[in-house]
Amino acid sequence: MKNKLIQFEDLGQFQDYQKIWDMQEEKLQQIVDIKKQIRDWERRLEEEPELQTEIDNQQTPNFLYFVEHPHVYTLGKSGDEANMLANEKMLDEINATYVKTNRGGDITYHGPKQLVAYPILDLANFKEDINWYMRSMEEVIIKTIAHYGLKGERSKGETGVWLDVGTPFARKICAMGVKASRWVTMHGLALNVNTDLRYFDYIVPCGIKDKNVTSLQRELDRDIDMDEVKDLVLKYFAEVYEADIKSASQVPQ
């Protein structure tokens, strides 16, 4: 039985990247273990038909977390370390850390006033198609920034959400990178809201040398209400993924 319920939690500001990564791994493993149990029951079904009830009643959970990290640069498993331009001394000077991750994509920056979203979904509950999953995440952000009068676009071969694609002024406003194991996702997206864009000067963002990054704040020339952005992302996440999103505190454990 497909479970379209997503348990949501806002983890707040200044959350250590490694700590949240570890939490994601735990949630992913929780879902994978349930899927393994269901498969085990299915293998034994012919000899133990009473297990059909267990199979019918078992569901895998889905999770969605919002967070803001301290200054941190993260490199994807296929990324090029040469795209990190800062050495250890420079990182200390700007109060930033550097972490190699197991997500896809190249190097990016996370920091205060940037909305990071980590969906940990069993795609068997939605659609077992990574391309669909990624394009759907892009659609969530395209709809979100449209609320502010900005036309978000996809750039062929370059994951994320962009402005003015196909012009010399193309710039990325939202980066994305994920990992999936047994159709369970982790990592996610980073939307620049009121982000200090100077931190991108220390990397080649996403390994793309000829395009800039931007933020809602820069595009609109004003500070943006982060809570409003979060509400919009939740609204469109539920709409695009046809999901029911509820606070984790409202979901029986």
**67, 186, 206, 233: the active-site residue:** 206
Q: Amino acid identity of 154?
A: R
Alpha-carbon distance of 168 to 87, in angstroms, equals 30
Q: Where are the beta strands (DSSP E) in the chain?
A: 5-10, 63-67, 72-75, 97-100, 107-110, 114-120, 153-155, 158-163, 171-181, 184-192, 212-213, 244-247
Residue identified by tokens 């999901």 is 243
Whether 206 is a known active-site residue: answer yes
Alpha-carbon distance of 168 to 239, in angstroms, equals 33
- Burial zone of 169 (CB within 10 Å; 0-12 exposed, 13-18 middle, 19+ buried): exposed
Per DSSP, 129 falls in state -
Which residue, 147, 145, 122, is CA-closest to 214?
A: 145
Alpha-carbon distance of 21 to 16, in angstroms, equals 9
Alpha-carbon distance of 85 to 179, in angstroms, equals 25
Q: Which residues are catalytic?
A: 206
